[in-house]
Amino acid sequence: MSQIIKVAVTGAGGRMGKEVVKMVLEDDTLQLVAAIDPSKSGQDAGTLAGAAPCGVSVTGDLELTLVESKPDVLVDFTTPHSVVANTQLAIKHKVRPVIGTTGFTPEQITELDELCKKQEIGGLIAPNFSIGGILMMKFAAQASKYFPDLEIIEYHGDQKLDAPSGTAVKTAEMISEVREEKRQGNPNEHETIEGSRGGYYNGFRIHSVRLPGVFAQQEVIFGGFGQTLKIRHDSYERAGYMPGVNLAVKKVMEYTGLIYGFEHFID
Ligand code: NAP
């Protein structure tokens, strides 16, 4: 039998973190060894996640917890403010980071990749762990070869901290790798209300809608002669991301360096 993978979860009491805790507890090949979320310290991680008590108490000090519990993998769903430091600490202690938190800059990703290589461990930063979300990004990149005029519209809840979403940024990057260079639209357009045309990225626009009641959706709209094409993905619940997180926790044990994007695990 293959070795059990020991998992720590940062943001264990958050909306995504609770799903991760439940997913780890339900998989016999994974063992929850630590759960970190400072404002929920002392609570049982299983109970906090809405499952049976699991005997792992939530802690507040990540470094101390990593040293004491010696996990193989750290899964992080926290905030853009804390995730970089959390990832650096994990790598420092040779704990493979699987990061779902969004808001990284390209420079931060490069730096973390170098740290992973130095420590000879694998890592993953994935702005979107859902299979449907990944397919939406791949199909959008493919369509952009034939329809270089496009706009991305992403929809999230009104409390989301970063904009555009990590998924929108990743989609824009994947499109830019294959789309012909083009600054679309009228070169003389001007905004009478600042920001009306959305964020500018490599010749096209990204729009971020933030509303209560919305979970996570994105559409990429392509315009051509006499036609439009829309590619859209709708997420309805957080559990939908867990098969992807589960696969990532296992895959990250098998390579060295930081991979950016869950699409690299899907053919
Ligand atoms: P959330 O419900 O606010 O959960 C975040 C949790 O992290 C909270 O319990 C928070 O505690 C805790 N936290 C804050 N700083 C921490 C630290 N330094 N160490 C440990 N825990 C800390 O947020 P969410 O909805 O779960 O989303 C979390 C992140 O995942 C966001 O960036 C979101 O965009 C991203 N996300 C990614 C995917 C994907 O597929 N990659 C999918 C959905 C969401 P307090 O409440 O006390 O601050």
Where along the chain do its domains lie?
Answer: 5-125+238-265, 131-235
Choose one of 16, 99, 130, 170 to mutate for the ligand 1 pocket test, by most ligand atoms within 8 angstroms of C-beta: 16
- pLDDT > 80? residue 2: no
- pLDDT > 50? residue 180: yes
Distance from Cα 141 to the centre of ligand 1, integer Å: 28
Q: Has 264 been annotated as catalytic?
A: no
**β-pair type (58-59, 30-36):** parallel
- What is the residue whose two structure tokens read 């709708």? 234
Q: Pick the catalytic residue: 6, 94, 138, 160?
A: 160
- Name residues contacting ligand 1 (CB within 6 A): 10-11, 13-17, 36-39, 77-79, 82, 86, 100-102, 126-129, 241
What's the topology of domain 5-125+238-265? Rossmann fold (3.40.50)
Give tens-digit pLDDT for 30-47: 999 999 999 999 999 999
Q: Pick the catalytic residue: 156, 170, 207, 233?
A: 156
Tell which phi-psi region holds residue 143, choosing left (phi > 0), alpha (psi between -120 and 50) or beta: alpha
Mean pLDDT, residues 107-116 taken together: 97
Distance from Cα 190 to the centre of ligand 1, integer Å: 37
Average pLDDT, the chain: 96
Distance from Cα 45 to the centre of ligand 1, integer Å: 15
Q: Which DSSP symbol is given to 178?
A: H
Q: Is 256 annotated as a binding residue?
A: no
Mean pLDDT, residues 65-80 taken together: 98
What confidence score (pLDDT) does residue 266 get?
85
Atom of ligand 1 nearest to the CA of 99: 41
* Domain 131-235 -> CATH class: alpha beta
- pLDDT > 50? residue 1: no
Give tens-digit pLDDT for 202-225: 999 999 999 999 999 999 999 999
Q: Has 160 been annotated as catalytic?
A: yes
Q: Is 188 annotated as a binding residue?
A: no
**CATH topology identical between 5-125+238-265 and 131-235:** no
Give yes or no for a contact between 5 and 72, defined as CB atoms under 8 angstroms apart.
yes
**Got the DSSP string for 95-153?**
PEEEE------HHHHHHHHHHHHHHT-EEEE-S---HHHHHHHHHHHHHHTT---EEEE
Q: Is 15 annotated as a binding residue?
A: yes
